[in-house]
Structure 1
Amino acid sequence: MVFERPGRRPRLAALVAAAVLVLTPAVASCSDDGEGRSTDLETSAPPGMTALPPDADEPDDPAAAEAEITENWTAFFDPKTPVDQKVRLLENGEEMRDVLGAFAGDKNAAMTSAKVTGVEFTSDTEANVTYDLLVGGNPALPDAQGTSVLQDDTWKVSVRTLCGLVEMSGVTVQGC
C-alpha cells in the first residue's frame, strides 16, 4: 500500500513501487536451501557469556567505518556500479548474484539510488543505516532503515536490507 504525503508526487511513489516490483520475478526464481545464512542461534553467545566484550558496541575507528559504510552503500545502490562490484558490497553477495543481475538490466532500477543519512553502530561488526531511497534524484522512500555488516573486512549492505526492499511488494521471495 502506498501512502501519499501532502506535497509529494504520486508518480514518484509509483516509480519506487515499480522499481521494487520489477525484482520480484527474478528473485522469486532463486532458490535457497538455507545454507550460508546466519541465524540468531549461530551468532549468539553461550549461556552466561556475552557475545561481545564490554564497550565493543562500535568498531575501533567509528569515523572510518562510517565513511566506508556510506561509500559502499552509495556504490551498491548506484545503477552504474557493475554487478561484480555489487556482489563484493553485499553480504553473501555471491549467493545473490542472480538477484543483482536482475537489477542491472532494468530501466526503473537504473533511476534508483540511495543516500546515507545516518549510521548507528550496534556492535563492532553491525550498524543500523538510515538512508533515503532516491528515484531520479528525488526521495521516494525517505528515512528508510537498513543494516550494514562487517564481512571479510568490508562493511557491506546486509542481505536482510536488500530482501526487505524486494519484499516491499508483498511477495515472499526464496533466498531472502
Structure 2
Amino acid sequence: MRDIRTRRMAWAALPVAGVLLLAGCGDDDKDEPKASPSASAPATSAAPSSSAPATSASATGGSSSAPAGAPADPATFTADQKAAAASFTQMLDAKVPVDQRKAGIQDAAGIAPLLDQLLANPALGTASIKVNDVAVSGDKAVVSFDVIVGGAPFYPNQKGEAVKQDGKWLVGKKTVCGFGTGLGIPAPPACAS
C-alpha cells in the first residue's frame, strides 16, 4: 500500500519535473550572474554533475565552495542569500497565504494570469523547494534548489533567478514564467520582457 501511495505521489508531481526543466531558462546569458560557471547551463538532467565544481561568490556575498550537487551550508549564507532563498521556498509553501507568495515574485501584477493558475495548480500544492546554494552578483542571484515531493528530492539540482528590487529579493519573473508554461499555462506578454 505504501509503495502505491509513493508511486501516486510521484505521478502527481510529474508535471513539476517538466516545469522545472524550464526554471533555469532565461532569454540569454547576459542576464545571469557570472558567479557560478554552471549558472547558465540548462537544467536538463536530474543527476548531479560532477564535472564542474560549484564556485563561491565570496567576493560578491556568496557562500563557500561545495562540490557540484552538494548543498552549501545555509547557516553561512549572507543576509542577501537568505532573503533570496526565502523567496524561493515561500513560492511553493502552501502554508503561506497566496498574497504573500505573490509579493515575493518579480512583476507579479504583470504575470497575474499565469501566476494565479500556477499557484492554484494541485501538482504544485504537494511540492516544496529546498534551496541548496545562492550565488549573488549585485542585484541578481542564481538559486540552486531541489523540488521536494513526499519528503524526498523529486527533481534535484535546478537553477532559477532571484532579483533584488527596492531592497527585497524576489523570484525572477523568467523563472516563474518557466514554471507556468511548463505546466501548459499560457504565458502573458509580460513573460517576454
Q: With structure 1 as the length reference, what TM-score do the two structures score?
A: 0.63
AA partner of residue 124 (structure 1): G
Shift of 1:170: 7.2
**Equivalent pair of 2:87/2:105 in contact (CA under 8 Å):** no
Percent identity at matched positions?
27
> What is the number of equivalent residue pairs in this alignment?
138
2:134 aligns with 119
- The residue number in structure 1 matching 2:88 is 73
**2:65 corresponds to:** none
The alpha carbon displacement at 1:164 in A equals 1.9
Structure 1 residue 99, shift from structure 2 partner:
2.5
- CA contact 1:12–1:140 (8 Å) conserved in 2: no
Q: Is the 8 A contact 1:132 1:144 kept in 2?
A: yes
| Amino acid corresponding to residue 15 of structure 1 in structure 2 | A
Q: What does 1:73-92 correspond to in 2, within 5 Å? A: 73-92=88-107
Alpha-carbon offset, residue 81 of structure 1 = 1.8
Match of 2:12 in 1: 15
- Distance in 2 of aligned mates of 1:113 and 1:128: 18
How many Å separate the matches in 2 of 1:101 and 1:113? 18
Larger Rg: 1
Task: Select the residue among 163, 171, 178 that pairs with 1:164.
Answer: 178
* Equivalent residues of 1:20, 1:165 under 8 A apart: no
The one-letter code of the counterpart of 1:151 is: Q
2:123 corresponds to 1:108: yes
What's the offset of the Cα at 1:63? 0.6
Summarize deviations over 1:69-126 as a string: whole Å, max 9, x none: 12221112212222211221001112223333223433322101101001112x2101
Quote the RMSD (CA, aligned, Å).
3.4
Distance 1:99 1:144 in 2: 21
Contact 1:90 1:159 in 2 (8 A): yes
Distance in 2 of aligned mates of 1:11 and 1:67: 33
